[in-house]
Structure 1
């Protein structure tokens, strides 16, 4: 997205170091941690001994991503480039609340019962990495 819209004045990209505002650097670092946690969790479940995810859990995770994560990414992307991002503040907060509830439901209903320390560490990387990246992005848009 940054490369595609690098000439947009709202992005405040510099031609000299540091090229990006600090919030984008935090998004990159925290997003990397989250992605690594997601990949490690996926690999963990590729092992036949650890592949015991019930359908209700898969549905809850799909709802969190499809009804929370994807709309959030779209709303935040639009707000980043919009000349008046405050018009998207209420929809972003509504989607945020839904996403937090959906992730909490998944963590406290399914994962708390069956996950060991290794899988919990992967989930924490994923959840807190995404949370930190979102907070930095939100700070960039609204502060």
Structure 2
């Protein structure tokens, strides 16, 4: 068995965990950056980052639960096309979006990043919609749909809060 085949089932899980890990790292590494507006007293973070943390936790939990759900022998296995679509949404949408949002957060002129952010946002929404409407619409039960809603709406809420922090 090749190394690629051994780790292929974990690609979507790793891509799911990259943005929350990088967000924590961003806050840690740039805690002295004035653009982050981190406070010295409780709650230490701007309210938008608290929303990012709460909504991001819901999204990550939903994604991990969905990933785990499909690893159980009792539940439907994910076909290769669906795995590829999910990896494209996460790897070509979620990760670049995180990088762009991070750059805009720390940049002196965040509007310079607005068009690339919107372009990646449109791609990500299309990729997620494709995954949901092509693969999930008819075959998912209530448990799996709950996991998907946690993932999609949690990430959407976290993104909106971060976007508000940057541009409002």
Q: Give the TM-score of the pair, scaled to structure 1.
A: 0.97
The size of the alignment, in residue pairs, is 143
Which whole-Å CA distance do the structure 2 matches of 1:65 and 1:3 have between them? 23
Deviations 1:34-76 (A, max 9, x none): 0110111112111112142111111111111111111000000
Gaps of 5+ in 2: 1-25
Query: Once the 2 structures are TM-superposed, how far is the Cα of residue 18 of structure 1 from its aligned partner?
Result: 2.5
DSSP 3-state at the match of 2:41: coil
Runs of 4+ in 1 over 6 A off after TM superposition: none
The match for 1:68 among 81, 93, 114 is: 93
Q: Aligned pair 1:42/2:67, yes or no?
A: yes
Deviations 1:79-119 (A, max 9, x none): 11001000000000000000000000000000112110000
Does 1 or 2 have the higher relative contact order (CA < 8 Å, sep 6+)? 1
Which whole-Å CA distance do the structure 2 matches of 1:104 and 1:9 have between them? 37
Corresponding position of 2:155 = 130
Query: Once the 2 structures are TM-superposed, how far is the Cα of residue 133 of structure 1 from its aligned partner?
Result: 0.2
Q: Give the TM-score of the pair, scaled to structure 2.
A: 0.83
Which whole-Å CA distance do the structure 2 matches of 1:9 and 1:52 have between them? 47
Which whole-Å CA distance do the structure 1 matches of 2:95 and 2:142 have between them? 28
Q: Is the 8 A contact 2:71 2:77 kept in 1?
A: no
Which whole-Å CA distance do the structure 2 matches of 1:3 and 1:50 have between them? 39
Q: Is the 8 A contact 2:97 2:121 kept in 1?
A: yes
